[in-house]
């Protein structure tokens, strides 16, 4: 109801990795024009609502732009404000009304348990520096689960820049609508709709770097992602065309055979792979435990092909919070007064392996909790 009231339509429900039924809500793809990612849609709607409130109540709401928070301030054990850089200068402490401080900065640094992931690319941009965690840690905040990182199994290798350390995410919904994965031998090797950790390990184990197709995979272990027109239509043409036509991650071939020949994949092996896949689709079961087969793929039909590789995507770790979104003080063993957090800056919500769709749900649920509790906080001058 909250998102609907903001004007966010989440009527498109998708099946993603690790899900037994479709349960991930997206913004429906338009018949024409560029689709809106669900995260952007939520942020833009909330941003507009805040702007409307600020316009109607200028004495109550001030919006600061081009302002970077670089630290927290405290007084008598209360977190009561932030230090900011504005116009290139470090400002004096900006006190937050009634000592209310909510942090929602993405946290993307972590202690890597497995050294092998250090060579992996990432889906995160240079902006994801973990500032929120670092600022809170400087105040003595407790963290949890920082050794828990998630590698997403499918990130696009851009044919125009295969060695880039930052990759564009190949959404799980592509596989949910019918994309399949094969290795350089033309063989399926896993349930495309399995959990992210399972599919990542399967790609690492069953695939190898692709060197002789297009511009290759820059030495990264990679798989081929195949989609036909029926799968692309089901995904939504505007959304699919963003990947295929605008970003040029997919290449279209007149037939699967044409692709196999171009990629140096054994033609007979790939033909048998598709024959077996379509046969399993009739019974909704295969040796990998796959139970959902959205489309059949014929050997002689047009096919879209992309190269995908695992990439560091998310950390389940972050600031420790309670059910009221209050951040814990590591040294006091209890929550700070005046410091709340929600979203990816926090940890302990997703266990060891987050499922697709749960992150934005967490951001909205805990964001509302943090906002309500911040608004209800009103420390007296004597307490401060």
Same-domain status, 8 and 143: yes
Average confidence (pLDDT) over 136-161? 94
Strands 94-95, 67-75: pairing is: unpaired
Residue 99 has pLDDT above 60, yes or no: no
Instruction: Give residue 211's pLDDT.
Output: 85
174/189 Cα distance (integer angstroms):
17
Same-domain status, 39 and 179: no
Instruction: Give residue 207's pLDDT.
Output: 97
Same-domain status, 84 and 133: yes
Q: What is the pLDDT of residues 8-32, one digit of tens each?
A: 998 988 888 787 888 888 888 887 7
pLDDT, greater one: 139 or 80: 139
Assign residue 60 the CATH number of its domain: 3.50.50.60
Q: Look up the domain containing 297 and give its range.
A: 150-312
Average confidence (pLDDT) over 313-318? 90
Domain boundary at 312, 343, 362, which?
312
Domain boundary at 260, 284, 312, which?
312
In a domain, 382, yes or no: no
In a domain, 115, yes or no: no
Residue 98 has pLDDT above 70, yes or no: no
Same-domain status, 286 and 347: no
Percent of the chain with pLDDT over 70: 92
Assign residue 160 the CATH number of its domain: 3.90.700.10
Q: What is the pTM of this model?
A: 0.84
**Cβ-based neighbours of 105, under 8 Å, separated by 6 or more:** 69, 131, 132, 133, 135, 345
Domain count along the chain: 2
In a domain, 124, yes or no: no
Q: Which residues are known to be catalytic?
A: 152, 175
195/203 Cα distance (integer angstroms):
12
Contact yes or no for 223/182 (Cβ under 8 A): yes
Q: Two tokens at 156?
A: 């696009």
Same-domain status, 138 and 202: no
Number of neighbours of residue 351 by Cβ within 10 angstroms: 11
Domain boundary at 273, 293, 312, which?
312
Q: What is the pLDDT of residues 157-197, one digit of tens each?
A: 999 999 999 999 999 999 999 999 999 999 999 999 999 99
């Amino acid at each position: 109801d909250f998102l609907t009231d903001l004007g966010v339509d989440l009527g498109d429900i998708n099946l993603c990795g690790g899900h037994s039924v479709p349960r991930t809500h997206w913004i429906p793809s338009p018949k024409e024009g560029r689709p809106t990612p669900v995260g952007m849609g939520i942020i833009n709607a909330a941003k507009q609502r805040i702007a409307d409130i600020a316009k109607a109540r200028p004495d109550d709401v001030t919006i600061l732009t081009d302002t970077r928070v670089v630290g927290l301030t405290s007084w008598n054990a209360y977190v009561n404000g932030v230090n900011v850089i504005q116009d290139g200068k470090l400002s004096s402490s900006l006190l937050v009304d009634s000592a209310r401080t909510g942090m929602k900065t993405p946290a993307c640094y972590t202690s890597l348990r497995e050294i092998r992931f250090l060579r992996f690319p990432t889906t995160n941009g240079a902006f994801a520096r973990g500032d929120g965690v670092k600022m809170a840690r400087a105040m003595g905040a407790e963290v949890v689960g920082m050794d828990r990182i998630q590698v997403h199994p499918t990130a696009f290798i851009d044919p125009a820049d295969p060695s880039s350390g930052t990759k564009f995410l190949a959404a799980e919904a592509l596989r949910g609508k019918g994309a399949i994965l094969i290795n350089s031998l033309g063989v399926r090797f896993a349930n495309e709709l399995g959990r992210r950790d399972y599919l990542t390990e399967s790609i690492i184990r069953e695939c190898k770097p692709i060197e002789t197709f297009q511009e290759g995979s820059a030495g990264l272990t990679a798989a081929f992602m195949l989609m036909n027109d029926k799968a692309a239509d089901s995904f939504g043409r505007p959304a699919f065309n963003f990947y295929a036509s605008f970003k040029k991650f997919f290449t279209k071939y007149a037939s699967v055979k044409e692709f196999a020949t171009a990629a140096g994949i054994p033609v007979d092996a790939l033909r048998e792979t598709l024959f077996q896949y379509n046969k399993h689709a009739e019974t909704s079961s295969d040796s990998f435990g796959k139970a959902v087969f959205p489309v059949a793929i014929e050997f002689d039909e047009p096919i879209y092909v992309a190269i995908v590789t695992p990439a560091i995507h998310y950390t389940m770790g972050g600031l420790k919070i309670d059910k009221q979104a209050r951040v814990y003080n590591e040294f006091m063993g209890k929550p700070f007064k005046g410091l709340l957090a929600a979203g990816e800056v926090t940890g302990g919500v997703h266990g060891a392996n987050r499922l697709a769709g749960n992150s934005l749900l967490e951001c909205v649920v805990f964001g509302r909790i943090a906002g309500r509790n911040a608004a209800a906080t009103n420390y007296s001058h004597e307490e401060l």
